Amino acid sequence: MPLKLKIAVDENTTVLVWNLSEDIGYFIAELALSPLTQKSLEDMSKKRRIEWLSTRYLLKLVLKEFELEQFKKDEYGKPYIDRTDSFISISHSHDYASIIVSDKVVGIDIQKLHQNIERISHKFISDEEIIYTHNEDKILHMHINWGAKESMYKGYGKKQLGFIKHMSILPYDLSPGTTSFSGIVSKDEITEHYKLFTKTIDEYVLVYAIQN
């Protein structure tokens, strides 16, 4: 079963993680795409096609009445579902796709663990935050920090947000299973508080944010 993980955060918030083991034909059949839509997919790379299809397939698993034409993006490129009160966020990494659907503002990020993140960590981890990455799990902590800020960035949704200047992660301790912690977006007159959750799935780090 390629559905790797389903999390019912609360009655109105659902997270799905999917292992992309199917070929493109599976999603085309499940979504009952029109010939016109199938033709438009031909202009995309294989990677982009599978991302496009898997995202919409996962949304349909959560939102039973979801129609493809409802998936839209606003002026900043933030995805939303037209004619509903639901908020969504999506993320892909290698063989995994993830979505979150909620009645609150949300963001999600999934990334494959890699050692190279340490070389660029100074671009998104503040001096205060770097202190609690100095242990045997520092690579994991760096991915969690990145995923948390990427998730809040998606929740904020208006771009031009500095990962160090405008976002901060409060100290936390790793827990077995899912770790919960808090983050803040602060820019100009806007301050947003987020509840953050993270867990590892095989060699991947999943982080999702729900605005308080």
CATH number at residue 24: 3.90.470.20
pLDDT for 107: 98
Residue 85 shares a structural domain with residue 166: no
pLDDT of residue 23: 84
Q: Of 49, 78, 104, which residue is a domain's last? A: 104
Q: What is the mean pLDDT of residues 37-43?
A: 89
9 & 38 share domain: yes
Please check whether residues 141 and 198 belong to one and the same domain.
Answer: yes
pLDDT at position 173 is: 92
The answer on 167 and 203 residing in a single domain is: yes
Nearest residue to 34 via CA among 64, 60, 69, 71: 69
For helices 24-31 and 46-62, angle between their N-to-C axes, nearest 10 degrees: 40
Q: What is the pLDDT of residue 64?
A: 87
Alpha helices in the chain (DSSP H): 24-31, 35-41, 46-62, 117-120, 127-130, 138-156
Q: What is the pLDDT of residues 80-139, one digit of tens each?
A: 999 999 999 999 999 999 999 999 999 999 999 999 999 999 999 999 999 888 788 999
Residue 210: predicted pLDDT: 98
Mean pLDDT of 159-170: 96
Asked if 58 and 149 sit in the same domain, the reply is no
Residues 138 and 206 in one domain: yes
Give me the domain span that covers residue 73.
Answer: 3-104
Phi and psi at 14, nearest 5°, equal -130, 140
Select from 104, 135, 168 the last residue of a domain: 104
pLDDT band at 24 (very low <50, low <70, confident <90, very high): confident
| Cβ atoms of residues 107 and 153 within 8 Å | yes
Q: Does 9 have pLDDT greater than 90?
A: yes
Residue at a domain's end among 104, 119, 149 = 104
- Statement to judge: residues 63 and 128 lie in one domain: no
Q: Is 30 in the same domain as 117?
A: no
Across the range 49-53, mean pLDDT stands at: 93
93/113 same-domain check: no
Q: What is the mean pLDDT of the chain?
A: 94
Do 75 and 123 have their domain in common?
A: no
Q: How confident is the model over 167-195, as a mean pLDDT?
A: 96
Order of strands, edge to edge, in the sheet holding 96-102? 3-10, 13-19, 96-102, 87-93
Question: pLDDT band at residue 2, thresholds of 50, 70 and 90?
Answer: confident
Which of 21-30, 51-60, 63-72 is predicted least confidently?
A: 21-30
What's the rounded mean pLDDT across residues 22-47? 88
Nearest to 7 by CA among 102, 103, 140, 148: 102
**In this structure, are 125 and 200 located in the same domain?**
yes
Q: Structural domain tally of the chain?
A: 2
Does residue 69 share a domain with residue 55?
yes
The percentage of the chain sitting over the pLDDT mark of 70, rounded to a whole number, equals 100
